[in-house]
Chains A and B, each alone.
Chain A
Amino acid sequence: MSEGTRPGADPLELWRRWYDASLEAWANFLPGGDGGSRMDPFAPYRRLFEGLQEEDAAGPEDLYETWLRWTQATFRTWQRAVETGARFAELAAPRYIEAAGEMQKQMLNGEDGFPTDPLDFHKRLYNATSRPFAKLADDVLRDEDYLEISKRSLGYYSVLDGIFRRASEQFFGNLRLPTVSDTTQIAGLVVGLDDRVDRLEEMLEDFEERLDRVEEKLEGLDRIEDKLDRLLAATSEESA
């Protein structure tokens, strides 16, 4: 694409601009989005167009050339993916070697010889590979790239989930059908009522307890009154 081309005149340029704009918009829409540092899920397509542009703005001359350019463009993408994945391969390689060594021990050098029973085979395979693969999983789970990807994936998922949820709420709402938010609202009212009943019960229980204490005190007063009566009776008998 030549620099002087008007936007919109060339479909490739149009596509590229639309793509860049929409990617940026999506990236900014996502939580914590900064646009520039986002993962590029359409990288292969991007590479294709970049590859085409590098050669000639006029576009491919024949089918073979188109295919060739597509291959070169996508190859570069895959190469980049491999480079990114090299870190994973770096982590995985020693664990695979460890697992392979252990497998050899478990399968061939064991006292019972090579396992003929399928269950025994799988057990030995698991015993040989579980420890190194657990270590590999642990390494990956601590890896910053993995954690970054997980965070972003959850972000993408939450955006999509939100969109579908709102759309389905609206759709069923238009059909006058009860939705999840309707049932949640009703359940919320029931929970609120339950809470009030519980508070009332608590107040009644507290009142009952206080009443018990008052009764105890009254009983005490009765006992004092009895004693006083007996004292009075005794004194009057004495004086008489």
Chain B
Amino acid sequence: MANENGAPADLWDLFDKYAEGIKTIVEGAQADTGQTPKEVIWTKNKAKLYHYQSQAEKKHPVPVLLIYALVNRSYILDLVPGNSFVEHLLNEGFDVYMLDWGIPGREDKDLSFENYVLDYMPRAVKKVLRNSGAEEFTLFGYCMGGTMAAMYAALFPDKPLKNLVLLAAPIDFAPEKSDLYGLWFSEKYQDPDMIMETFGNVPASLAYAGTATLRPVDNYVGAYMTMWDLLMKDKLTNGWRAMNKWANDPVPVPGAAFKQWIEDFYQQNKLVTGELILRGRRVDLSNIECPVLNLAGEKDHLVFCGQAEATMDLISSEDKDFVVLDAGHVGLVMGRSAKKGLWPQVSNWLETRSG
């Protein structure tokens, strides 16, 4: 019980809450994430291809393949029951698959975008089509996964790719568009070779610091102020715990992919200049002709609207939409704003294009 000021009335209750708060700060929040039933239909190295199971009737024959970034865990797309984008798509009658990159080990330090876009993704696509019996599919990429999805779409523009959905996908890495990351990752201040030689992969802690330091007061203090406040008012939800767990659960980034990300994308902006070459093949975004839904968050401080919007001028699709939602990078896919914003936006757009 709590009194009207938010302070617990009972001393033991207060102690329990302090204990839980301190445990959360020290060990991180605990929550059962990624609970939607799924079947692993393919694995390669650490990557797993999930096929989500649902009781809901399948209304759309075109399956959706979700791709997430190499930086964090993909369960943000299937956070907790009731707060899961995957669950929403299933309820709307879509057949949903997700390619989870897994946690790279030291032996994966040489994995680059060549491997991910030219080896893993086409293979996963084949498996999706085989498993679903469909001839076409929708590719959905979030964050760096969106950039990878755009690269795939540029390299394999014909059938079976039917639709492309990009969510907070950075395409234009010009320093004036990428703010702090543009400055930090400039040649003057960032030497990816040094990181790669020292660590092999970028350690998870360093990857986390790189994101959290963008807003240190919010991430290192504010999050826990909110926690104490909610805890004392008996309002700390499973959703908050799951979100906090995800935010503090980064994965190492393969060294070679990190080096490419910094040099080819942030330092040389090759995707925009059309100079990006993957295993001898030029990644030309103008090859993309399929319907494209491009979404960005107005409050996103990791991927700015301008970085995502640039896609619209680079692709050749006639059926293309750019939508800016009132949310931050994570709020785009989870929470109340997502339920009202992104989720219906994506399912409505796909509904008419998944026949």
Contact = CB atoms under 8 A, between A and B. Distances in A.
Contacts of B198: 157-158, 161-162
Given A119-B228, A147-B184, A205-B130, 19 more contacts: A31-B191, A31-B194, A117-B6, A119-B5, A130-B221, A134-B215, A134-B216, A137-B215, A138-B180, A141-B216, A147-B188, A151-B189, A155-B191, A161-B198, A161-B199, A162-B198, A184-B105, A185-B107, A191-B45
B345 to A, nearest CB: 30
A126 B189 CA distance: 32
B24 to A, nearest CB: 15
A215 interface: no
A154 interface: yes
Interface string B187-206: 01111011101110000000
A133 interface: yes
A41 interface: no
Contacts, number: 89
B232 A119 contact: yes
Contacts of B105: 184, 187
Interface residues of A, number: 37
A210 interface: no
A92 B110 CA distance: 43
B26 interface: no
Of the candidates A119, A120, A147, the one having the most CB atoms from chain B within 10 angstroms of its own CB is A119
A205 B180 CA distance: 47
Interface in A123-173: 123, 126, 130, 133-134, 137-138, 141-142, 147-148, 150-151, 154-155, 157-158, 161-162
Interface of B: 5-7, 43-45, 105-108, 123, 126, 130, 180, 183-184, 188-191, 193-195, 197-199, 213-218, 221-222, 225, 228-229, 232
Interface stretch (A14-22, A47-55, A70-78, A194-202): A194-202
Contacts of A183: 106
Contact of A133 (B108, B217, B225): B217
6 contacts: A122-B225, A122-B228, A130-B218, A158-B195, A184-B105, A191-B107
A228 interface: no
